[in-house]
Amino acid sequence: MLHNSESLTATADYAPPLLVALANTCIEAGRAIESIRSSDIGLQYKSDNSPLTKADLAAELIIDQFLKRYNIPIISEEASPQLFRSEDFKNSAYFLVDPLDGTREFVAGRAHYTVNIALVMHAYPLIGVVYAPALNVLYLGLCLGDHGSRTRVPRESALSLGRAWKFHADSMLDGLSASMLVPEQHRIQTRIGNSARLHALVSASHLDHQTESWVAGHPIVERSDFGSSLKFCKLAEGFADVYPRFAPTMEWDTAAGQAVLEAAGGIVTDEVSQRFQYGKSNWRNQAFIAWANPLFATKGFVENNATCDGDIQASNLPHHRQVYELIASLADKSS
């Protein structure tokens, strides 16, 4: 049996240049969004009645131009995702992009909108970058563990190869650099919490009856409203315990946030307590529950726990070689 700290260290060592490149691209896209915020945002509505602005398109252009260097598929909300069959990507690596997550928040003049980039492989997010330009806050997540090998409850203190970071504007005046990923002061981790007294996060713009019912049926003693993928990030940094979501979402809405949360020690599950995965029909998500502490999820979850802790069986080593080769190849193209 080979422990993941021995088998995946090389992969983790290759990741910083890629993380930094994706983060700085999100920051650049965020600056474009902010430059439009105080002008005519060019509001229009798409066929599904969701809003679209000049800021969405400006951020999309910046991200798309950068990601093309990697020569892997880019699935983005504003780039005709219907041209791609999600079923064809189950065993592939690709980027999921939401250039402006929380457009309704942006249009309403609120600050809870983000720029999201996720790297997905074998139906699960490996890397997530979430930048909130109005708040000047950046979240990063790197989760290289193998979902197929995690068969035991994680230890409280062990994040293993899950690494998540939070940066504020004053630490990124000249952009992010790889050296900034080393100091511990920027690392974040989910909280242990109290299963009898939960703090829940709910959507500021999409609160529905099912979510209200779920909250009413659980020991929620505090709740907070946030827009966009910030809800995942607030769980990741230890602010709250759970984020239930029953209203519709798309895969680009959640992948980056899921990566950040799971890298920080949390878990996102579906309604039957299986780890939430990607490549679903038409890129459309079903209901999910995001937890800061995996032990608070239902019992069936233990057999499929998504923390980046646990041992790697020899049968899983080919998968890890593929992850290593992917990260290494993308890192080489990041400069």
Instruction: Give the number of other CB atoms < 10 A from CB of residue 14.
Output: 19
Task: Please report the pLDDT score of residue 300 as a whole number.
Answer: 36
Structure tokens at 326: 């992917």
pLDDT of the residue at 316? 55
pLDDT of residue 204: 66
pTM of the model: 0.89
**CA separation for the pair 63, 240 (Å, rounded):** 31
Nearest to 249 by CA among 236, 231, 272, 262: 231
Of 208, 251, 206, 28, nearest to 102 (Cα)?
206
For the chain, how many residues are written? 335
Cα of 147 vs its chain's centroid, Å: 16
- Predicted pLDDT at 311: 35
DSSP codes, 104-135? HHHHTT-S--EEEEEEEETTEEEEEEEEETTT
Q: Cα-flanking dihedrals φ and ψ of residue 12, to 5°? A: -60, -35
- CA dist 316 and 122 (Å) reads 13
CA atoms of 256 and 126, how far apart (whole Å) = 9
Q: Residue 273 — left, alpha, or beta (φ > 0 → left; ψ -120 to 50 → alpha)? A: left
Q: How far is CA 245 from CA 37, 189, 205, 219, 269, in A?
A: 28, 22, 12, 16, 11
Contacting residues for 310 by C-beta, under 8 A, at least 6 apart: 4, 145, 149, 150, 151, 152, 154, 160
Task: Check residue 89 and give its pLDDT.
Answer: 80
Determine the Cα–Cα distance for residues 181 and 178; give it in Å rounded to an integer: 6
List Cβ<8 Å contacts ≥24 apart for 314-322: 314/1, 314/2, 316/146, 316/148, 316/149, 317/2, 317/7, 319/122, 319/146, 319/148, 320/7, 320/8, 320/11, 320/144, 320/146, 322/121, 322/122
Q: Which two tokens stand for residue 217?
A: 């049926």
Rg value, the chain, Cα = 18
Q: How much is the pLDDT for 161?
A: 58
| Predicted confidence pLDDT, tens digits, the chain (335 residues) | 334 445 567 677 889 999 999 999 999 999 999 999 888 999 999 888 889 999 999 999 999 999 999 999 999 988 877 778 777 887 789 999 999 999 999 999 999 999 999 999 989 999 999 999 999 999 999 987 644 433 333 443 333 458 999 999 888 878 899 889 887 889 999 999 999 999 999 876 667 888 888 999 999 999 999 988 999 999 999 999 999 999 889 999 999 999 999 999 999 999 888 889 999 988 999 999 999 998 888 643 333 333 344 333 334 556 777 888 899 999 999 97
